[in-house]
Amino acid sequence: MRSFHQWLLAALLLGGWAAPAAPAPVPLEHLAALGGDYFPMRSAANGRRYHIYVRLPEGYGDAPKRTYPTVYLLDGDSTFPMLAPQHLFLTYDDKLPEAILVGIAFGSFAPPANSRGPDFGPEAAAFQRFLKDELIPEVERRVRSDPARRILVGQSRGGGFVLYSAFTDPGLFWGRIASNPSFPDYKPLLFAAAPAGRVDSRLIVASGTRDWPQLRADALAWFAAHQGRPTPWLLKRIDIDGGTHAADLPNAYRRAMNWLFNTPAD
């Protein structure tokens, strides 16, 4: 009987009964518009793991002393593969400057790996510490990022975080783009007076005219609240005619980036 068990174990191990191997990673380096770098980060600020994708500009290796504007994309799981090629096309058609794009990805659309709810909501302060104290220094160590031209882009709850960042640390980013923002967790903060002082930064809120009715109403009310008030940033509202909640992010990005780079400072 013992020899039979030994034979059966050998048959299982040698006869293909082992658990299937994990699928090999899919390489991105063959997608030229997304090419650059990747690294994971475990945040000391909140203990969470993020996947960081970096798209480098065309000709990056040919200009070793040049620095570039750097765009930080929240919800990078979807926004990075969407907007990295979009930015390349904007350099072709709209003559915008090339930029480094950094996608901050969760690695999944499902909680708990996807922590956009807490990160862009009640735990926004910890997520901002991750950006300021951990991610930005690491990006600027790895690539030739211009610290004076950082841009933060967010959609929906991510757009709400963009507004939170503008109120709580105005000088951290030169440009901020909040697309169809949702901000239920810190609405009182965002409707209060903006921080005093003036920094060289710009804040754009893009709102689709066909966004979810409550979010559209909140965006319009937010602008009405801040009209005529002093703000530390140059403020711009962009209405996307016919724009819906998620599908028009590339249109919002295009119009906002053109305004950022073609509007002189006050």
Q: Write down all domains in the chain, each with its CATH number in brackets.
A: 31-262 (3.40.50.1820)
User: What's the pLDDT tens digit per position in 189-208?
Assistant: 999 999 988 888 999 999 99
Mean pLDDT of the chain: 91
Does residue 43 or residue 24 have the better pLDDT? 43
What six digits make up the tokens of 162? 């963009």
CB atoms near residue 49 (< 10 Å): 12
User: What's the pLDDT tens digit per position in 95-121?
Assistant: 999 999 999 999 999 999 999 999 999
Radius of gyration for the chain, computed over Cα atoms and rounded to the nearest angstrom: 22
**Side chain identity at residue 209, one-letter code:** T
**Side chain identity at residue 173, one-letter code:** F
Contact 77, 244 (CB under 8 A): no
**Side chain identity at residue 174, one-letter code:** W
Q: How far apart are CA 170 and CA 164, in angstroms?
A: 9
Helices 249-262 and 76-93, packing angle to 10 deg: 50
Lowest mean pLDDT among 15-24, 33-42, 73-82, 188-197: 15-24
Angle ∠(43,45,50) on CA atoms, nearest 5: 25
State residue 238 phi and psi, 5-degree precision. -125, 120
Residue 266: which residues within 8 A CB-CB, separation 6 or more? 234
Distance of CA 95 to the CA centre of its chain: 22
Q: How confident is the model at residue 10 (pLDDT cuts 50, 70, 90)?
A: very low
Q: Give the model's pLDDT for residue 29.
A: 76
